[in-house]
Structure 1
Amino acid sequence: MATRLGRLRGSIASSCSFWPPVTHAKATAPPDFGVADTVDIKLGLVGGNLAQRLQGSGVDVRRYGVNALSTFADLAEASDQSAGKSESIDALLVNVDSLQEDVAAQIIALGDAHQAKAMAVVYGFGTGPAAELLRVAGVRLYREADGRTEFRQMLGDLCERVRIQERTGDDAVWSRVRRRYDDRELETIAARSSTIACECPRHLAELVVKLAAFERYSDTCSSRSAQDAALHRYLGDVSNRACAMIEAALERVAREEGWFAAPALQSPSQPQPPLPQAAAE
């Protein structure tokens, strides 16, 4: 599920078409979640007249930490507008009448495109396989909720999951990241490990290469159904996440060994292969 963008700052985004009156905040603010912490959340509402429902509910979403709101008429419009763009949306709430496997795949792709940290889907009818696809991807599912209380609870839970992810760093929906080191750089690291007694750098470099290869394999593996495709996507995500963790460990080893020191500090009598700096995230 792409490098993450910087934290959203400033005032309400121009895409926000309305904000519930602040005078309703005391009467409608959910007691379970309280006043939001310092996390700024960008919320996206997709389909099912969710924007109108939010306005009608009288909920002041700023109480949940939301400082920007984007609305889309339906899943097709959201997908079209996300094509070729890298705008991040922290929390996505999607409403569909019928939840089928192809629709589930579109929802997952939408979350990938916006690097969503938390997603929820409200649906009227759906199939078991489609629901399972979303559960595997970490998407929370709700049957059609008519009451205002249920709607507020959904919003509160969605935004709370974003805050939890920010605090713990554990992505509910993993957004893939680029590798820090390419194969040539890893070869340099592996070669340098032979100059010291410990061969951990070489083993870590080999793990990165193998995990990256499996990620590519998962992305290109043939799928018999939308469920099969989602499984391969999940395997690719797991591989990408594991690769990122191993690269972080490899960078720590390199720093502990002093491989990132300035060239002038290295002994000219014992030249070492140059090590590239890790790419900025």
Structure 2
Amino acid sequence: MQASFNPVSSEQPRYRSGAVARMVRIPVATLRIWERRYQVVGPALTTSGHRLYSGADVERLLLIKQLVDQGHAIGSLARLPMASLLEIADARAVLAAPADATPPVRARAALIGLGLPRRLGAIAVQRVATWADLVAAEQAMAAAPDDAPLRAELLVAELATLQPESASRLLALMRQLGAEQAVVVYGFGPEVVAERLRRAGCSLHRAPMDDAALRALVSTLAATTTGLPRVLASTGTAPVPLSGAAAVPPRRFDDDTLVQLAAASGTMACECPRHIAELVMMLAHFETYSAECVNRGPDDAALHTHLHRVAGTARAMFEDALARVAEAESLPLPGG
């Protein structure tokens, strides 16, 4: 049985006020003022009256907080669309540069992973496409008109596992895009495959990778469009159990939710939520990897079936632990 795993939409309301305030690093009272007086965001209300904010709301609040810290008045920012806010952030970067400096070129970036727009935030790249996975990327490239092909200097992807086939498809996608750069943040994969991508100029990173580190890396690579390493990242793909494997509970939390839980817990004295979220992500990635491993015979297949079952069971147990800790610490959970 294949476990269902659908990335949560960035528009789906799921974060309560306290959690959002911790992620944005502002008092809850400030969040209330921004919302009521300036209508910066419009959270949904539950039947019990609790405010729920979406991932897109959090991304907007993070960008506005950054601009307010730089001296902009909240009243002048509150009603602006995200595109205008990003332009202000980019313009400030240009003004901060020396007078004789060449204005920075905004590299075009294609993203694989629905959680990447939120994770990357307001960095100075022009996002030309965001795809859920490699299949969606390949379909979009095939459908692009010949007289207006999709082009990007930078490819950023998130992959739970790295296999010979996926590496070949990533390199082919880079050629189609004309991408000069790429980062691979991945869960598990054979070292020989990782080395192949390194030789092709890719910079590989093992998951989990926190948002700040990812933003810094992509910003550095996007600073110029030539002569830089290539960057790819990790996509949450549902594990495909091996033949004969016992069913394991489906994933409760996708990678984007786990990254946000880890980031939210980073503002607290107790770091147990962050550590457990990272364990859940690693176990989920190994669960997928063990299901994809090449088998050399019946005994090998039986071993990988066992590993897949053990990883899935352990992942489900740690998800239960994470839910209990998140509830105790008032951290956001999907549908909470």
Alignment TM-score > 0.5, same fold: no
Query: What TM-score does the superposition give when structure 1 sets the normalisation length?
Result: 0.44
Query: What TM-score does the superposition give when structure 2 sets the normalisation length?
Result: 0.37
Query: Which has more radius of gyration?
Result: 1
